[in-house]
Amino acid sequence: MNSLEKWGKNSMNHIYPTIVKKQTSAKKMLAVLIDPDKAHDQESLTPLLEKCQDSGVDFIFVGGSRVPEGYTEKAVNVIKEHTHIPVLLFPGHSNQISQKADALLFLSLISGRNPEFLIGHHIKAAPQLKKWGLESIPTGYILIDGGKITSVAAVSQTVPLPSDEPKLIANTALAGQFLGMKLIYLEAGSGALEAVSSQIIRQVKDELEIPLIVGGGINTADKAAWAWAAGADLIVMGNSLERKPALLEEVLRIKENYNNNL
């Protein structure tokens, strides 16, 4: 058996086809982002996970910009104890990986020029990912100015693309698609003061054929609705759901209404 056959046999690649199937049928998706640090406070995390399990959350993302080694796997274990929702790693470093996840967003920060976040961490993680056969989805990650300096910008030492340059952002996304990325992720950063604008989402979506993810600063049901309406296939919400658990129900109602009215 050659290496390609072995890779295909060991890799349970089903997450990306699921995303594409929903995208092509215009079904909107929601991912809840869990910071691995929160796994050490299961008392506060468990109610959110139970709400996710009992509702229409499509995926749970696990990751952060600054995560001590070992925390990612612990977070995945806690999540899997409470839900059957697919867990996707959203790593900010090559040590933020776990064999127990269902897939990994193989992020390349194409909005910046720091080689460590374009290819460096990927080289370090690749041998282990191959050994595990973990589904790894090439993702063009584009950081956009959300009105404050985010931990992503600080850790990656890159400057976000200006939010008043939608054409530049759209061209960056298109270049990512031509480079072979299977997803584009527009990110305003955790705790952003401003979410990615509808204009940016719409302009990027018009250029792409691959699925579009949007996250950062989506802290109200209205912002979620606007992002989906502008063309986001999948939106990501995190801190706002921990502060206001009822928000999850509001957003899921919007998602359900949207998908039922296709």
Which helix H or strand E contains 240, and what residues bound it?
A: helix 239-243
Helix axes 42-53, 246-260, angle to 10 degrees: 20
CA distance 11 to 131: 10
| 190 labeled binding residue | yes
Q: Are strands 103-109 and 59-62 parallel, antiparallel or unpaired?
A: unpaired
The response to whether 114 counts as a known ligand-binding position is no
- 187 assigned binding-site residue: yes
* Amino acid identity for residue 39 in this structure: A
| Contact in structure between 211 and 233 (CB atoms under 8 Å) | yes
198 marked ligand binding residue: no
141 is in an annotated binding site: no
Residue 145 marked as a ligand binder: no
246 annotated as ligand-binding? no
92 is in an annotated binding site: no
How many CB atoms lie under 10 A from the CB of residue 99? Answer: 12
65 is in an annotated binding site: yes
Task: Please state, in angstroms and rounded to a whole number, the distance separating the CA atoms of residues 49 and 106.
Answer: 24
Query: Among 212, 209, 189, which residue's Cα sits nearest to residue 201?
Result: 212
Q: Is 153 annotated as a binding residue?
A: no
118 within 8 A of 112, measured Cβ to Cβ: yes
**Angle at which helices 221-230 and 246-260 pack, to 10 degrees?**
30
Q: Is 140 annotated as a binding residue?
A: no
Cα 176 to Cα 141: distance, rounded to the nearest angstrom: 9
Instruction: Specify binding-site residues for Mg(2+).
Output: 35, 65
Instruction: Specify binding-site residues.
Output: 35, 65, 185-191, 216-217, 238-239
Instruction: Specify binding-site residues for sn-glycerol 1-phosphate.
Output: 185-191, 216-217, 238-239
